[in-house]
Structure 1
Amino acid sequence: MTKPWTYLSLKAVFQYMDVNKRLEINYHCPALRSAESSVSLNLKFLTLNKRKIVANGVCYKVESKSQIIKSILDGRKLVRVEILKIRNSSVIPDSLKIRTRRLDSGNLNLERVLPFINRASFPLKELRVNIAKTPNLERYLGCAQTLILFETNNDGENTDLIRSILHDRKSLNIVLENISLSSNDTVTLIQNWRNNQKKIGTVLTMQNIFRIVPIVFPDVDEFNYVDEILQVSNGTHANFNDSVLQNNMDRRCISFPFNQTSELVLYSVRDGPIWNRRIKLEVMPIRSTGPETLFNIFIDLLVLLSYIFLLLIALIFVLLASAKLETMLAVRRTD
């Protein structure tokens, strides 16, 4: 007769079992629930919604709140998550403290989410927060290495709070998601970083901005106040040195004088298609950039011409497809 597994044996098995298989066993086998819940739950992704919980890409719909908590989260001593997205906090047991590296509080006030986060998580590697939902965000600027700010309605009501966060000494890596800065805000930010002598590695990223060409072509680029920033902040057109260039970085940039050991650089990085770019303002070691040369200008012109050529090719294909469609429709009318 086969002997039943001991409690310690079950714990050892659950420790090396696939996470989602564990959750299924927990839900369907109440007798094993205690042993399974006592083992640390390690997830790469966890999203908590009002109607569903998504663990490592597997969706568990919420039919009964008490059942879903019992099967997924309740009674656990430790839950580790690489990327945690909280869209509804009511599905989290009050006693549970989740340990995570990247936290996305969605459209919730961050202060409602933080009580469920294990203190050992701080400082977080990354924190994404809706600035419109968290008016006291300045209190928590030191709790994450990278702070991603976004808002549902970019109506300008949070401009003062955004400016205050960008100027704060604890803000070393800020990402603005679908939030744009005016020319005055950008100039004021540059002056503030100079006055406070921000450390090398301090960076502001503006992402998800539709762009066709690099920031140094102001006449055809939406970042159309480059010339104004150049004049007010004593910036100059420059090029990155080979030792600084990384994948998808535009060589051409704008450098602003900073101090004897560092310079402030405005540049763009391409993500995927040529029109998807991130704009960065970063404090870099001195001589990260060099003066623009005739050869660099020639290369930039070639790049610009290649963009135009690709656009023309795309336009020709669209025109040919339209003409073919019109011909087919004309043939059907005659029939």
Structure 2
Amino acid sequence: MSEYLEIRFGAGSDTAHRRRLDMKPHVAAKKLACDLLGRRKKIRAKTFELYIYGDPILRLPVGFKVKTSALCVSGNFESILGLVDPSSFPLQELKTTVSRPELLEHPAVKSAKVLKVTYGMSDEYSSVEFFEGLRNVKNKTVYQIECQMNGEQIMELFGAWTNSQRDIGTMFISSFFSSFWMNQRLDEAKRRFNGKYVRLNEPDEKMIPETKCISFPISPNSELVAYGICGADEDPYYLKLEMMPRGSTTSSEWSVSMSGVLNSLGAALNLYNLII
């Protein structure tokens, strides 16, 4: 019985198609890739999404490039950039795993308008270094996804943002597993960094109903506002920090204080009823 190469592939259904090829595997793989890409060297894609975990990308057409506005990649981030057309930069959105702290300084990362990053496990550096670098990036919008800071790291994030002048509209959005725990961190940040309870003058439809909203004065023209918003499947809750124009919020200190008084009064009455 003679041996031969067979390629199996699907065509939008559960039916598998088979094709016998009398050529070496690496030649067949490149031919298949070229056929699937229509033998084009440049492709336009709104989102270029690619997941690799240490394996090199082979058998693509010579000079192959993708022009895109959004890049979603894990694994060897730098090797993927060679497939992206230079005219794609700066990216509208970059979603990636960071396994080395210096990647946060890469031009493609620093220039992305929206940066979504998660911590990549590494023997060379810890999550502490990851969070330390992440809280100081200057992208317009930063999402920290699928990984969470501890309490002190959250306070360090607030410290970095309350002690630096950032553009209006700049945001940092951090994943959380509990809205209750988030409120505890908001209370702590309010005490540490001279914040106040507020409500948004223009409501955010994503805001978690039970979340607290805290404002920190930054300059005569800006304030840092922090509150919880609903997340995605991987991250049910997010803590959102946004630099807003001064006057975007209204103080609610009195209502929060009265709520605490009423809760204390209710607890006292319940205790009195138990005693009598």
1:145 correspondence with 2:103: no
Whole-angstrom distance in 2 between the partners of 1:77 and 1:290? 55
Counterpart of 1:85? 49
Q: Deviations over 1:238-277 (max 9, x none)?
A: 1111xx213222474011121111101111112479x932
SS at 2:35 equivalent: helix
Structure with greater proportional helix content: 1
Partner letter of residue 245 of structure 2?
Answer: P
Equivalent residue number for residue 89 of structure 2: 122
Whether the 8 Å contact between 2:207 and 2:228 is mirrored in structure 1 is yes
The answer to whether 1:163 aligns with 2:121 is no
What is the aligned-residue RMSD (CA, Å)? 3.7
Summarize deviations over 1:46-66 as a string: whole Å, max 9, x none. xxxxx98999x9999999522
What's the counterpart of residue 249 of structure 1?
A: 207
* 2:248 maps to 1:278: no
The C-alpha deviation readout for 1:34-79, integer Å capped at 9, x for no partner, is: xxxxxxxxxxxxxxxxx98999x99999995223212123631420
Q: Secondary structure at the match of 1:90?
A: coil
Instruction: Evaluate the alpha carbon distance shift between residue 91 and residue 162 of structure 1 in structure 2; reply closer, same or farther with a 3 A threshold.
Output: farther
Aligned to 2:166: 198
Q: 1:263 aligns with which of 193, 203, 223?
A: 223
Q: Map Cα deviations across residues 168-221 of structure 1 (whole Å, 9 max, x no partner).
A: 3x33311000222233333333333343311111111113x333x4xxxxxx43
Distance 1:138 1:54, change over 3 A: farther
Aligned to 1:237: 197
Question: What's 1:45 paired with?
Answer: none
Matching of residues 303-322 of structure 1 within 5 Å: none
User: How far is the alpha carbon of 1:86 from its aligned partner?
Assistant: 1.3
How many angstroms apart in 2 are the aligned matches of 1:59 and 1:285?
57
Look up the SS of the partner of 1:281 in the other structure.
Answer: strand
Give the alignment partner of residue 109 of structure 1, picking from 76, 80, 84: 76
How many residues in Structure 1 have an aligned counterpart in Structure 2? Answer: 236
TM-score with structure 2 length normalisation? 0.71
In structure 2, C-alpha distance between the alignment counterparts of 1:138 and 1:255, rounded to whole Å: 30
Identity rate, percent: 23
Q: Which runs of 5+ in 1 are unaligned?
A: 1-50, 214-219, 300-335
Shift of 1:113: 0.6
Q: Which SS does the other structure have where 2:135 is aligned? A: helix
Q: Which amino acid aligns with 2:161?
A: W
Unaligned residue ranges in structure 2 (runs of 5+): 1-7, 20-27, 260-276
Asked if the contact 2:64–2:83 (Cα under 8 Å) also holds between the matched residues in 1, the reply is yes
Verify the 8 A CA contact 1:238 1:290 in the aligned structure 2.
yes
- TM-score, normalised by the number of residues in structure 1: 0.60
Hey, what does 1:189 align to over in structure 2?
157
Q: Residue 35 of structure 2: which of 68, 71, 74 is its match?
A: 71
Supply the distance in 1 between the matched residues of 2:114 and 2:186 (Cα, whole angstroms): 26
Select which of 122, 144, 147 maps to 1:176: 144
Q: What do residues 276-317 of structure 1 show as CA deviations (whole Å, max 9, x unaligned)?
A: 322101111111111116668899xxxxxxxxxxxxxxxxxx
How far apart in 2 are the matches of 1:206 and 1:176? Answer: 5
Decide whether the 8 Å contact of 2:93 with 2:115 is kept in 1: yes
Q: Which segment drifts farther, 228-237 or 125-134?
A: 125-134
